[in-house]
Amino acid sequence: RRGLMGNDHACKTVGVGTIRVKMHDGTIITLNDVRHIQDLHKNLISLRLLEKNGCKIVLEDGVLKVVRRSLVVMKGVSHGNLYPLVGTMVTGDLAVGVVGHKDQTECTMIWHMRLGHMSEKGLSLLSGQGLLKNMKKSCMEFCEHWVYGKTHRLKFFTSKHKSRGLLDYVHTDLWGPAKVNSKDGSWYFVTFVDDYSRYAWIYFLKHKNEVFDIFKQWRAMVENRTGRKLKTVRSDNGKEYTEE
């Protein structure tokens, strides 16, 4: 078999087989019927063949996405007039390696992000029903993106007060420790929510006793930027501001 190139030059196919590619999000996908052409110095993927196999090709803002069943399975970032694939080919023993604890944790985080930062409990339910491929029960890492996304949902018990301006009334809460620390070593985070504007700030902490220093830094910053003084601070459990 021969492959016809763009310059009408025919290159000989010396073999056809299967390869595994580790993608941008850590998942490993398998490509079948891959031709081995010795004269080619770069690997090429046919978008038309991907399309024939049920994939959708999306081009937007210099990024090419290959979507299958609502999931992005491949991604390429424009370079010149091409879209190099973000990923690496798996070779040797890695192709048949057994999934270990670290790989299981990575797999859990991949599904967590793919499913809109679903909770660990939700992932366990889906995994128990066999709906998440290659995922077994595993502890989920601390996800900073999930925390940022949840700041608009922070709730406090009702109380009788009326904010008339910025910094009249601020809610604060300390969360932690996490089951697994973040990449920068943080175990906690503290939030400050202005009752009047609903504007929220979030800070990550490596130690619980850092919270009061963070509060003082935050207070100096917001008072300087707004030109107003902080009047009232409410914490559901304010011991972190008094004990240490």
Q: Which residues contact 42 (CB under 8 A, 6 or more apart)?
A: none
Beta carbons of 232 and 168 less than 8 angstroms apart: yes
pLDDT in tens, 28-50: 778 888 888 777 777 888 888 88
pLDDT in tens, 182-223: 888 899 999 999 888 888 889 999 998 899 999 999 999 889
Count up the domains in the chain and report the number. 3
pLDDT in tens, 107-117: 666 665 666 65
Using CA of residue 160, residue 165, residue 168, residue 171, what is the dihedral sign? positive
CATH of the domain at 215: 3.30.420.10
Q: Residue 152: what pLDDT? A: 46
Q: Which of 52-61, 76-85, 95-104 is predicted least confidently? A: 95-104
pLDDT of 227 > 90? The answer is: no
Based on the fold, state whether residues 48 and 79 are members of the same structural domain.
Answer: yes
Q: Residue 131: what pLDDT? A: 63
Q: Residue 95: what pLDDT? A: 34
Q: Residue 242: what pLDDT? A: 61
Based on the fold, state whether residues 69 and 25 are members of the same structural domain.
Answer: yes
Instruction: Give the β-pairing of 169-175 and 232-235.
Output: parallel
Q: Residue 238: what pLDDT? A: 59
pLDDT in tens, 114-173: 666 566 677 677 677 776 665 655 555 555 445 545 544 444 445 556 678 889 999 998
pLDDT of 99 > 50? The answer is: no
Based on the fold, state whether residues 119 and 175 are members of the same structural domain.
Answer: no
Q: Residue 195: what pLDDT? A: 87
pLDDT in tens, 11-30: 777 778 888 877 766 677 78
Q: Of the candidates 124, 141, 158, which is a domain's last residue? A: 141
Based on the fold, state whether residues 155 and 126 are members of the same structural domain.
Answer: no
Q: Which residues contact 221 (CB under 8 A, 6 or more apart)?
A: none
Q: Which residue has the higher pLDDT, 235 or 94?
A: 235
Based on the fold, state whether residues 126 and 71 are members of the same structural domain.
Answer: no
pLDDT in tens, 75-85: 888 888 888 88
- Write the DSSP symbol of residue 28: E
Q: Which residue has the higher pLDDT, 233 or 162?
A: 233
What range does the domain containing 196 cover? 144-241
Based on the fold, state whether residues 213 and 171 are members of the same structural domain.
Answer: yes
